[in-house]
Amino acid sequence: MPRRYAGRMGPHDGRFAPSPSGPLHLGNLRTALVAWLRARSAGGRFLLRVEDLDRGRSRREHEERQLQDLAALGIDWDDGIVRQSDRDAAYAAGIDVLRARDLVYPCWCTRAEIREAAGAPHGDAPEGAYPGTCAHLDAAARAAHEERGRPAALRVRAGAVRSVARDAVRGELSAVVDDFVVRRGDGTHAYNLAVVVDDAWQGVREVVRGDDLASSAPRQAWLATVLGHEAPTYLHVPLVLGPDGRRLAKRDGAVTLEDRLALGEDADDVRSRLAASLGLCEPDERPTPAELVARFDVATLRDAGPVRWDPVAGPLG
């Protein structure tokens, strides 16, 4: 297991953290490229973390294919690969910190019950937030739930606090934080806990990821502070969309590197198309990874929006 990276942290140390539940598509690869360029252009470390918390969907063959695709595009990484499946003890320690501060409680609510209860107004909590059904149960009520045999999740008691995360492109991301799950009923540690614990342990100072995760940044920044860590800054990358305007997916055709190779393109072609969509080169250019590092400027993302993938013209055509 790699050591904690204390003493080696830089303001733009970054990471890419895919889930090995399938191949990376062009949108994933574009985000990985931005994360790598951001770290390398600023002289930072670039780390790779495999987010395999979902044991049922994670496959080692998917992980191996993902690593091969990243390497083919010229994306390298520092230190060893961290796998969340090896980090249960660290996540349990994080929950112990929360428990010592009386900030976790058992929750027996099903998703259907939460949807029904969240439809009512709940003061400062955002629409759809967890309404606090199990937050104030007395001992008798908890005992009654336990007798029914339904396993309880653990929620952190956030108290509808307003939290602000800082994004290099968007500026301040502010949101009210509801009580969210940190450990599921089946004992699996939740993503929002794991990602905060891992980013702090690895010394990740800037989290580069897709725009669809921007709404979780205030929640994770709040949890980092509660656990005694400095919250990272964020850089959320506009998504790649399919022809129908939805987030790119397998349904949209030849959307993986393997697909594009089968159509006669090579990894340099794909990397160049990704770079062109970021304004880093012209469509007919084939810059090297080192040339892209030299050209990268986060300012080019400030006015960028989602990119539409055209299955006829090619990836990001």
H/E segment holding residue 235: strand 233-237
pLDDT tens profile 298-312: 988 887 778 888 766
Looking only at the bridges linking them, the beta strands covering 240-241 and 14-16 are unpaired
Tokens 């690869």: give the residue: 29
Backbone angles phi, psi at 25, to 5 degrees: -100, 180
Contact by Cβ (8 Å): 48, 77: yes
CA nearest to 212, candidates 248, 250, 183, 164: 248
Higher pLDDT, 245 or 37: 37
d(CA 118, CA 109): 12
Superfamily of domain 89-193: Glutamyl-tRNA Synthetase; Domain 3 (3.90.800.10)
Q: Where are the domains of the chain?
A: 14-86+238-308, 89-193
Determine the pLDDT at residue 8: 55
Percent share of the chain, pLDDT over 70: 91
Contact by Cβ (8 Å): 240, 30: yes
pLDDT at 22 over 90: yes
- Quickly state the pLDDT bin for 316 (edges 50, 70, 90): low
Higher pLDDT, 49 or 110: 49
Contact by Cβ (8 Å): 206, 13: yes
The chain-wide mean pLDDT, for the chain, equals 90
- What is the fold, at CATH topology level, of the domain defined by 14-86+238-308? Rossmann fold (3.40.50)
Contact by Cβ (8 Å): 193, 95: yes
What 3-state class would DSSP assign to 97? helix
Determine the pLDDT at residue 38: 96
What 3-state class would DSSP assign to 50? strand
Mean pLDDT of 52-59: 90
Q: Return the HEC string of 128-179.
A: CCCCCCCCCCCHHHHHHHHHHCCCCEEEECCCCEEEEEEECCCEEEEEEECC
CA nearest to 272, candidates 280, 262, 264, 260: 280
pLDDT tens profile 146-162: 999 889 999 999 989 99
Percent share of the chain, pLDDT over 90: 73
Determine the pLDDT at residue 304: 75
d(CA 317, CA 269): 12
- Quickly state the pLDDT bin for 314 (edges 50, 70, 90): low
d(CA 22, CA 71): 17
Instruction: For helices 217-226 and 191-202, give the axis angle rounded to 10 degrees.
Output: 60
pLDDT at 214 over 70: yes
Residues 6+ apart with CB under 8 A from 48: 15, 16, 17, 67, 70, 77, 81, 82
Determine the pLDDT at residue 33: 97
